[in-house]
Amino acid sequence: MAEQPAMETESTPGRGPSERRERMSLVRWTVYPVLTGLVLGTVWAAAAPGGLFYGSGSDYQSWAERDLLFAGLGLLAGAVIAVVLSATRRRAGLPNRGLAALAGSVLGTFAAWGTGVGLTRVLGSRGVSPSVPETVFGLQALSSLAVWPGVVALTVLALTTLWWVPPREGPED
């Protein structure tokens, strides 16, 4: 009896291999940006002023550089996602893949932020003054969290506008 439900799902219309492939594609477009966010958070924690290896967290002039580096990494990640999304050029699922990439980018930017802050809290950051809470490694301009999803959203809008073709409807009788 365990095989009976498997036969029903195979014979159910709309649940073929192409639908499973499309669903897995959407999962990949959501998960890969999150994994990229973990890598970018590590790079941000290592390379940003006041992070693991460079600069001093107590120097308030370096706080803008820290935020700009995070925003630049987000811009780079959004551009890479845009290039990969446009290279696939499968028109049928472009809006769905674009929305999955946007959701993954939102999760990825928070993963990058959390990874960077978490690494510097665990491994220590440079020049942190316990009496000044602003010197702790993190973002002063939280608007830099919107760069990566913003680039992806604008790219998805542009790609959908340029390449998406609505599905054809059957012949009318």
- At residue 7 the predicted structure's pLDDT band, cuts being 50, 70 and 90, is very low
For residue range 125-168, what is the model confidence (pLDDT) as tens digits? 766 666 666 667 788 888 999 999 999 999 888 877 877 666 66
Check: CB of residue 111 under 8 Å from CB of residue 38. Answer: yes
pLDDT in tens, 86-137: 776 566 677 788 889 899 999 999 999 999 888 888 887 766 666 666 667 7
| Burial environment of residue 136 by CB neighbours within 10 A (0 to 12, 13 to 18, 19 or more) | middle
Sign for the pseudo-dihedral over CA of 126, 131, 132, 138: positive
Question: What are the domain boundaries of the chain?
Answer: 23-163
